[in-house]
Structure 1
Amino acid sequence: MQFSDIPEHNKLKRQLISGVETGKVAQAVLFHGNEGNASLPIAIALSQYLNCQNKSEFDSCGECVSCVKAKKFIHPDIHFTYPVIPKSPSKPSLSTDFIKEWRAALKEMPYMNIYEWMNFIKAENKQGNIAVDECRSIIRTLSLKSFEGDYKIYIIWGAENLAAAGNVLLKILEEPPPNTVFLLITYNKAAILNTIISRVQQIKVNKFSDKAVEEFLVNHESLDAEAAKSISRLADGNMLSAMRMIDKKDALNNYMFIDWLRYLLAISRKNDQMAYVHLNTWVDDIAKLGREQQKAFLKFAQFFLSETVSLFADRDSRLDDNEKELALYLKENYNAATLLEMQRIFNDMHYFIERNAHAKAMFFSNSLRIKNLLIQVDEPVKI
C-alpha cells in the first residue's frame, strides 16, 4: 500500500516521509483516533516506504521487489501482530497462525475494526487478545537480523488488546534494536497501558472529511454520486461505516425516517387517526428489516437530529432540501432540549437493537415516547 492510496492526511504523510528523509524515524509510534480512520493503512504505507528501494520524496515506488512484497503483505521484515483467538485449548495461538486470514482481511477491509476482524476469523463469542506468548514471539523475531530490508518493522494493530501482556514489551519498546520500528495502532487509546504510552510517540489520525469519503466511494467502489454523498454524510468521516453502508444504501433512504416523523407529528399535533394506521404499517415494515439495516436507520435519525439542533446555533446544515424543510419546522415549533431528548431516545433504541430486542415492540413503544414529546409545543430557544 502506498500513501497515494489513502485519501487526505497530506500533512501527516509529509511529516512521516520527512522523518525518513532526515533519518529521524521514531522507533515506536502509536497511531490513535476513532474507528474507521486511516491509522492502519498509514502504518502499512509507512512500512512499505521505509524499505522501498527506489523511494521518492512523495511515496514508495510501488514497483521494486520490496514494494511488491509489501503490497502482498509477505515482506519478511514487515511483521504484524493483532488480536487472535485460541485454535486449541492446549496451545496458545499466535498472530502467525492466522496470517492467511489477516492478509485476506487487509485486502478486503483495510479500514476494519476489531469486531470486523473477529467476524472474519469466525471467532463467534470468543474474545480476541494479544497474549504473553505473542509478545515473547515479537522479542524473538526482532532478535534476528533483517532479511532484505533496511528496517525491521512490527505493526501491532489493536494495541489496547495487549492488556497486562504489554509489560513484556516495555524494555524493547524503550530500547529497540537498531533499525527497528514499532507501529502501534489503537481505536481506544484510554485502554492502552500508561507504561506503553510513555514509551511511544503519539500521533492522532483525524477522521476523513465527507468529501474524501464521497470521492473514495465513487472512485473505488463505483457508487453513483448521489448514493456516495448520502452515505458519506452519515458515515461522519468513518470509512468503515461508509463501507458497511454500501450494501445497505437502499435501507438508508431518508424517506423512511421523514415519513415516520411526519406520522408522529400528525398524531401528536392533530390526533390524525389515519396517521395511527400508517404508523402501525411503518412499524411492521421496519421490524422486518435486518438488524444492521435498523441500525442504519437509527444512524440517519441521529444525524438528522444533530443537523437540526445545529440550526439553533445558525450553523450550516448538511441536510437536503426535503429534510431541511422538516428540520426548520421542528426548529420553529420545538426547543433544542426537546430535540436532544429525542436523540437520547434514538440512542436507547440503538442500545436495544444491539442486544437483540424485539424490534416491533421496541420501535412501537419508542414511537409513542417520541409522540408524547412532540405533543408539547415549545418556545424555540437558541443554544
Structure 2
Amino acid sequence: MTSIIWREHKGFCIVPDYTPLKETTNTNGIDSLPWDQYLEKENVVDISSTVPTQEPTPNKKLTKSEKRELRQMKKINVQRRKQMQRQMELDSSNTAIEATFKPYLAKQELKQIYNKIITAKSTSKEGTSDFKLGQCHSISIYKSDLEHILPGEWFNDNNISLVYELIKETFINSGSCRPFTNQVQLLFPSVVQLMQHFPASDIENLLPMDDLKKSKIIFLPINMIDEPLEELDLETANNGDHWVLGVLSLLDERLYVYDSMKIDVDIKGDLQLQKLCKKLESCSNLVRGKIKIVSLNCDQQRNFDDCGVFVVMITCYLMDQFCFSEEIALDLTHVKFNSLDARLSLMKLVSNFIE
C-alpha cells in the first residue's frame, strides 16, 4: 500500500506500493512520544514511573484514611518492583512485555493519582461538583475530564483536545523537532464536529487555514453520529456514540480511517464520512481533487468504552513516526494497543500540569 517518507529538504512525500516491514509492537501509544525530552523541565515527569509515596513528617499524626492510602501505595510500589525485577529476567519478546502488565495494579494506581489530584485541588465550597483543576496551554482541565480517564469511562472531546494540544505545543509548534514537522496538523474534535454542522460554503471560514495551507497531513477525530440513515442530517445532529480517527493525506487526496470497532457493512458511517469529505473538498485552497476514503486495519477494542482512547493512542503512535521516523507506516495491523495502560499514562501526564 501507499506509505509516507520524510525527506530533509522536502518534508513528507508519498511512496506508492511500498510497505515497510514491521514486527509486532505492543504499546499504549502515549508513551511512544518522548515527552520527558521535550517538555519544559518544570513540567517533566517520567510517565512510566509510579506515583511517589508521600512519607509522613516526623511530628504529624496521620488520619486513618491517610494511613490506608499510604499502605496501599506501598503495596503497589512493592508489586511494581517485583514486576520490574521479573521483566529484567525475561527476554524482550512481546510475550514477556505482556506478562509484566497487571490490570488490577494499573486500575489501583489510576484511582490513587485521581484521588490525590482531586483532594489537593478541591475546597469545601466546591464539594463534589465539577470544578476547574488547572490549565494546559489553551485547554482548561476540569474534574469531569479526569473522571473520563478512569477505567470504564468514555473519553470526551476535551480529553482528546488536551492530548492534541500537548502534541501541538510540545512537538509541532515548539520548533524543537526536525524541519517540516508543521506539515502535520491536528484539528480539535469540536472543530471537526462544527465542520459537520456548517454549510460547505462556510467551512474555510471555520478552519485555521493559515496553518492548514502549509500542511500535508491533517488528523481529524470524528464523532460518529448514531442516527437512522434516512434521518441523518449532519447539520442538525449533535451527539455521537463512537470515536474514529481520520488522517487526511493531502499528498494523495485520501482520508485514511482508523476504526477500533470496525463493522463490515456500516452504511451510516460510510455516509457520514462521505459528507465530511465533500465539505473538505469545498475548501479549494486546501483540497485540490476528490477525496478517496480508505479504511485501514487497526487493533480492535475489547469493550464499549475505549474508542476515544484508541483515537488518542493511534494519534500518538503515528505522531511519533511523523516527528522522528523517516518511514511512516500507515498500516497498523502489526500494532497491539493497551488502552488501560494508556489511561494510566495520560493520567500521569495530566497530573504533571495541574499539581
The reply to whether TM is greater than 0.5 is no
The structure where helix makes up a greater share of residues is: 1
**Structure of higher RCO (CA pairs closer than 8 Å, 6+ residues apart):** 2
More strand by share: 2
Compute the TM-score of the two structures, normalised by the length of structure 2.
Answer: 0.29
Normalised TM-score (structure 1): 0.27
Higher-Rg member (1/2): 1
